[in-house]
């Protein structure tokens, strides 16, 4: 005999299917929020990358170049190189990691790109290029987070 039991013990036909549909809907509702849990780190990463790209573009508009020298190499620290350079009569230093096939040797003369407004902000690569390199992962993270958000909202419309 089908149906769901009532408080008085009678079974009402047709309610069994409705209860199952409600359980499936509740399960879908809970699982959609897991998508949000997955999308949140992607969205946070996109915000940080967007901020870095904006900063790099702003610095690129003010950047100047000078010559400096590689002073240290730390392979265990993201293969980073320490370098020093002079702006006017003031000495500055920075750290950078090679991109692509770049490899430097201690004592090697290198071109340093620095922010004319704050020479403490420097790199061994053009800030325009740094902003461009940030755009790839930024677009990937943004597209991923947007796709998951769409999946959540489309799932709600289906229910």
pLDDT digits over 46-80, tens only? 888 888 888 999 999 999 999 999 999 999 998 99
List the one residue out of 57, 6, 104 whose CA is nearest residue 95: 104
Give the pLDDT score at 99: 84
Q: Domain for residue 101, yes or no? A: yes
Assess whether pLDDT exceeds 90 at residue 147: no
Q: Domain for residue 12, yes or no? A: no
Q: Domain for residue 98, yes or no? A: yes
Q: What value does the mean pLDDT take over residues 10-14? A: 56
Q: Domain for residue 137, yes or no? A: no
Give the pLDDT score at 138: 78
Q: Domain for residue 85, yes or no? A: yes
DSSP E strands in 27-146: the ranges are 63-74, 80-87, 90-96, 109-115, 118-123
Q: Domain for residue 106, yes or no? A: yes
Assess whether pLDDT exceeds 70 at residue 151: yes
Residue with tokens 């190189």: 81
Query: Which range of residues forms the domain containing residue 115?
Result: 70-126
Q: Domain for residue 50, yes or no? A: no
Number of domains in the chain: 1
Give the pLDDT score at 96: 95
Q: Domain for residue 76, yes or no? A: yes
Residue-wise pLDDT for 87-138, tens only, equals 999 999 999 999 877 789 999 999 999 999 999 999 999 999 888 888 777 7
């Amino acid at each position: 005999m089908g149906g769901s039991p009532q408080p008085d013990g009678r079974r009402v036909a047709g309610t069994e299917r409705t209860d199952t549909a409600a359980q499936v809907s509740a399960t879908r509702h809970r699982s959609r929020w897991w998508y949000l849990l997955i999308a949140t780190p992607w969205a946070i990463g996109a915000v940080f990358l967007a901020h870095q790209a904006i900063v790099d573009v702003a610095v690129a508009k003010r950047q100047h170049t000078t010559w400096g020298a590689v002073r240290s190499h730390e392979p265990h620290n993201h293969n980073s190189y320490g370098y020093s350079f002079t702006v006017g009569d003031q000495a500055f230093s920075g750290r950078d990691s090679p991109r692509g096939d770049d490899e430097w040797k201690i004592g090697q003369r290198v071109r340093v790109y620095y922010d004319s407004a704050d020479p403490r902000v420097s790199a061994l690569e053009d800030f325009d290029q740094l902003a461009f390199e940030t755009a790839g992962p930024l677009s990937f993270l943004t597209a991923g987070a947007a796709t998951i958000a769409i999946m959540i909202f489309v799932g709600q419309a289906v229910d």
